[in-house]
Amino acid sequence: MKPGIFIDGEHGTTGLQIRERLATRDDINILSLAMEDRRDAEKRREMLGSCDVAILCLPDDAAIEAVQLIEETGNEKCTVIDTSTAHRTHPDWAFGFAELDKEQASKIKNSKRISNPGCYSTGAIALLKPLIETGIMAADCPVTINAVSGYTGGGKQLIAQMEDASHEDHIETSFHLYAMTMQHKHVPEIMQRSGLDKRPLFMPSVARFAQGMLVSIPIHLEQLSYASVATVRGALEVHYEGCEFVSVASADEVAAAATVKPEDYANRDDMKLWVFGDDESGYVNLVAQLDNLGKGASGAAVQNLNLVLS
């Protein structure tokens, strides 16, 4: 019997893209609520109580409630993949970044509770984890993370503000910073999953393109141990060797790159890591290039689903 997959919140931005990615698959059975039934508590409870995998595309409070409903129905077979922030630092949930280390894919495959990383977090953790793990970067290193995302990362309200000139809160600017207090909800998972002890300065921004993301971390080489640009790139290459969804730009690719554009990774489920820098000047700039709705959300959820079903 084909496993039943219920996307709770399938009519939201992340849910719609997950649904699209699964639409042509014949190895699963998609369980779906009609648009008019999505707020029907009893029908939703029935879905959560009968599915084999629940992919939660919900706000934090609703995601927590969904897990409680699954447990109340006694649906012990159900694996939960939660795309919200609610469980990303929970010790009993597997963190859904399979490339975190050599054991993480197995942890995801064998877990009933999986928390998808945030989009910014995916890029930041991918860059920081190998350096901290190898001792090239100290856990208490002062880190600044600059990032820009396509506006679809803000959900339907921001999409409407960006795309609809008649919207009462229409945003006309082409670029803006936000989370000015630097207390963004992704920071705790970035710290926990990368190994940082010192809270990073994280400054996210949104630009007027739909999908794509750049996460950049500029570092002075003197802040790192036994480090050169080649050493830093080498640590990333070793960590991600053989990974399907994460690659590291070669030195030749870096030398040839006049620009790195977030839109170039729109509608892709993989991520590319870049190491720019100059030993003589003593600096390095680490850059993650991904789709905020691909490897940063929906694509990652499907990757985790595939691990669960494998």
Residues designated catalytic: 119
Report the C-alpha gap between 62 and 59 in whole angstroms.
5
Task: Please state the separation of Cα 149 from the chain's center in Å.
Answer: 12
Phi-psi region of 189 (alpha: psi -120 to 50; beta: other; left: phi over 0): alpha
Token digits for 162? 């960006």
